[in-house]
Structure 1
Amino acid sequence: MPIVDIDHVQLAMPAGCENAARGFYGDLLGLAELAKPANLARRGGVWFQAGSRQLHLGVEADFRPAKKAHPAFLVHDLAELRQRLLANGHALQDDEPLAGYDRFYASDPFGNRLEFLEPKDGPGIATK
């Protein structure tokens, strides 16, 4: 029974912050919101589509942001995203080079670490 893919990644967020998640992940990053199943919607949180994968933000009572663990998002036009995040007051962090990619890190409104990267050979999305 081999693992064949990743369906979704979940990040935690504080209770009552769904609108902040929608503003950041939906409005700023451009991810489409997904309707949560009714039996899970009562727990709070919000889900988004990220390419062929999903990003779930779930409410955690004793919330602490992920400072090291992180999802990495492949991006078309990393420079434009960099400028959009900076214009909206988000601090960015560069890191050691990663062969074949340009990249940087940022945090979501809750302090979770996020990586954004683009293949250096252009805006095409590399799949591995």
Structure 2
Amino acid sequence: MIAAVDHVQLAAPPGSEPELRAFYTGVLGMTELPKPPVLAARGGCWFAAGGAVLHLGVEEDFRAARKAHPGLRVTGIHAFAERLRDKGATVVWDDDLPGHARFYSEDPVGNRLEFLEPLAPDGASS
């Protein structure tokens, strides 16, 4: 029986860890998690915020995930979007999911990221 999602893994090109760290910690405000030594030797990095855990693994023939993506629930989505814009990230709003405010962005290596917040019963988000 499945109890929860433990983490989501995205791929990244070799040597991109400094860019990923700057984005996931500095722009998104996530915390880097230490990788076990045997896994750290493979490269990549892990991040967490709230209940979300993202693993970025090195892939030699890397191609960014353009359709597949994690959906990250946020609070204060408009302020969060402004934070991303202020730090140079793209923000593309999408109104197609009823009951939610949401936008898409991408990390420095081109992986698609979705950010969403449920709307209050009156249709407002924070």
Question: How high is the TM-score relative to the length of structure 2?
Answer: 0.91
Describe the superposition over 1:23-60 as per-residue Cα deviations: whole angstroms up to 9, x where unpaired: 11111111111000000000110001132241100000
The residue correspondences of 1:1-128 to structure 2 (distance < 5 A) are: 2-121=1-120, 122=125
Identical-pair percentage: 52
- CA RMSD in angstroms, aligned pairs only: 1.3
How many Å apart are 1:96 and its aligned residue?
Answer: 3.9
Q: 3-state SS of the aligned residue for 2:8?
A: strand
- The unaligned stretches of length 5 or more in structure 2 are none
Q: Which runs of 5+ in 1 are unaligned?
A: 124-128
Q: Aligned to 1:19, what secondary structure does the other structure show?
A: helix
Q: Distance in 2 between matches of 1:32 and 1:89?
A: 20
Deviations 1:89-110 (A, max 9, x none): 2222222421111000001101
1:103 aligned counterpart, secondary structure: strand
Q: Distance in 2 between matches of 1:53 and 1:105?
A: 17
